Amino acid sequence: MAGYCRDCFTGTVETDSTHSGTEREMHGRPTYVSTPSADIEPLGTIVIIPDAFGWTFPNTRSLADSYARRVPCTVLLPDFMNGNALPAHTLTLMDYHPPLTDFFVTRFLKRTWSILKVVPSLVRYLLTCRHALAQPRILSFLRSVRTTQPVPSKLGVVGFCWGGLYAVELTHDAPENKVLVGNEDIDLVDCAFTAHPSLLTIPRDIEKVVKPLSVANGDDDSFMGRNGMTKLKEVLEAENDAAGRDVHEVVIFPGAEHGFGVRRDWIDPLQKECRDKCEDQAVAWFRRQFKTPE
């Protein structure tokens, strides 16, 4: 469980979502595809690298639809986990608390049994979605997208929790983040957005960032903590100062819980407000990054 926190595997599932996208096979992977209205020209393409609950998670599909409509853009949400994402019912099991009217021992046993039922799915996910296996899948998909896009179409990535590390890594100036198009090596992505990323090594992973990066996180996130978030902000703001302009942005949401951008309880007014502002941040970020310079 190194690199993860309990909140990585808890939260709320949207049960009343109506989605406008479609499932397709794209670049060798099952992919949820959402597009703006037929009469609207997309400004670019966004690839979502999801959290542990993968490409079928209703909440993430709702965000894909929202990005497609509001940016506007084409949004691709692929299965980067080869079918090994955590099932949505894991959230219910992890958050299950027996009634207080039960005896203490009974409550303890029920709670323990609820968590134990998650273990097989969790172990499979941790083994099959580790960095050494997941990164090649993500890079291969993005290379295919980039080389089949009209040039110079804009391509951005969004990473939530598990996907946050990969979104940040894609902003690094590294050989694996380039692809040959014609006679020119071009970057796989033009920009990235991440909310409550997990698995990052601070400050090392942030010091390597060169492509525009937008970060949304709580002020005392259960994964990154206050110190990690403070250091991340310092590094990116120093890069902005060195460039003489705002290449990167960091938005800190006081009181936001880990997973707030996708999975937090919408009944809680604060968490819902943070979630909505997180979506607004991503939409505004990609509108700016995808805009063609005059």
pTM for the structure as a whole: 0.92
263 or 208, which is more confident: 208
| pLDDT level of residue 96 (50, 70, 90 thresholds) | very low
User: What is the distance between the alpha carbons of residues 138 and 140, in angstroms, rounded to a whole number?
Assistant: 5
Tell me if the bond preceding 269 is cis, omega within 30° of 0: no
3-state secondary structure of 290: helix
pLDDT at 291: 87
Q: Average the pLDDT over 218-231 and give the result.
A: 92
Query: Structurally, what CATH architecture does the domain formed by 6-85+129-290 represent?
Result: 3-Layer(aba) Sandwich (3.40)
According to DSSP H, which parts of the chain are helical? 58-70, 89-94, 104-116, 119-128, 131-148, 162-169, 204-207, 225-243, 269-290
Pairing of strands 74-78, 249-253: unpaired
CB atoms near residue 133 (< 10 Å): 14
**Which residue carries 């698995």 as its tokens?**
199
Q: Does 12 or 19 have the greater pLDDT score?
A: 19
DSSP readout, 8-19?
GG-----SS---
| Six token digits for residue 139 | 């890079």
The pLDDT, as a whole number, for residue 94 is 57
The residues, any chain, with a CB within 8 Å of residue 210's CB and separated by 6 or more, are 171, 172, 173
User: How confident is residue 294, by pLDDT bands cut at 50, 70 and 90?
Assistant: very low
Q: pLDDT exceeding 70 applies to what percent of the chain?
A: 87
Residue 122 binned pLDDT confidence (cut-offs 50, 70, 90): confident
When the pLDDT of each residue in the chain is averaged and rounded to a whole number, the result is: 90
Alpha-carbon Rg for the chain, nearest whole angstrom, is: 19
The residue among 258, 252, 255 whose CA lies nearest residue 237 is: 252
Reported as a single tens digit per residue, the pLDDT across 177-191 is 999 988 889 999 999
Distance CA(263)–CA(267), nearest Å, equals 12
Query: What phi and psi, each to the nearest 5 degrees, are found at residue 33?
Result: -120, 125
Nearest to 218 by CA among 172, 171, 251, 243: 251
Q: Does the pLDDT value for residue 111 go beyond 70?
A: no
108, pLDDT greater than 50: yes
| 139 and 176 Cβ atoms separated by less than 8 Å | yes
Q: Is 92 exposed, middle or buried (0-12, 13-18, 19+ CB in 10 A)?
A: middle
Q: How confident is the model at residue 20 (pLDDT cuts 50, 70, 90)?
A: very high
Is the pLDDT at 284 greater than 50? The verdict is yes
CA-closest candidate to residue 262, choices 96, 55, 24: 55
DSSP state letter for 265: -
Which residue has better confidence, 1 or 129? 129
Pairwise CA distance, residues 199 & 215, whole Å? 14
